[in-house]
């Protein structure tokens, strides 16, 4: 029944549904819907890019941590070698002083 009244209103305004014309309020709603759909797609795209960037940053940090672990391990080994060398020198000097 409501559709009948709308159809009569369209015909009074010189518009028909068959022509694909809609009342201005309907066109505004359609425009608003399109705008919101576009915004939603842009936000989804941004979300995807941000998630990708977060994953990339996490990978960079993981690689940096692994590099630091390796460097620290190498420095620890070098310190142990230097400590052993120093201990040998100290023992030798102690033995020479006896």
Q: Is residue 43 part of a domain?
A: yes
Q: Is residue 16 part of a domain?
A: no
Give the pLDDT confidence score for residue 67 in this predicted structure: 98
List CB contacts of 7: < 8 A, sequence separation 6 or more.
17
Query: What average pLDDT does the structure give for the chain?
Result: 86
- Scan for tokens 């939603």, then name that residue: 40
Q: Is residue 3 part of a domain?
A: no
Q: Is residue 33 part of a domain?
A: yes
Q: Is residue 28 part of a domain?
A: yes
Q: Quick check: 77 pLDDT over 70?
A: yes
* Ordered DSSP codes for 65-98: HHHHHHHHHHHHHHHHHHHHHHHHHHHHHHHHT-
- How many CB atoms lie under 10 A from the CB of residue 58? 10
**Distance spanning both ends of the chain, measured CA to CA:** 119
Domain carrying residue 42: 23-96
Tally of domains in the chain: 1
Span 56-73, pLDDT tens digits: 999 999 999 999 999 999
Q: Is residue 13 part of a domain?
A: no
Which comes out higher in pLDDT, residue 21 or 5?
21
Please compute the mean of the pLDDT values over residues 10-35 and round it to a whole number: 73
Please compute the mean of the pLDDT values over residues 14-32 and round it to a whole number: 72
CA distances from 62 to 48, 59, 87 (A): 21, 5, 37
Could you tell me the pTM of the whole model? 0.56
Please compute the mean of the pLDDT values over residues 42-64 and round it to a whole number: 98
Span 2-16, pLDDT tens digits: 555 555 555 565 555
């Amino acid at each position: 029944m409501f559709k009948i009244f709308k159809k009569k209103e369209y015909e009074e305004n010189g518009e028909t549904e068959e022509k694909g014309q809609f009342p201005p309020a309907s066109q505004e709603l359609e425009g608003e819907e399109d705008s919101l759909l576009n915004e939603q797609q842009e936000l989804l795209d941004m979300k995807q890019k941000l998630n990708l960037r977060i994953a990339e940053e996490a990978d960079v940090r993981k690689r940096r941590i692994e590099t630091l672990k390796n460097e620290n391990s190498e420095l620890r080994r070098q310190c142990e070698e230097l400590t052993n060398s120093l201990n040998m020198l100290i023992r030798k000097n102690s033995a020479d002083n006896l």
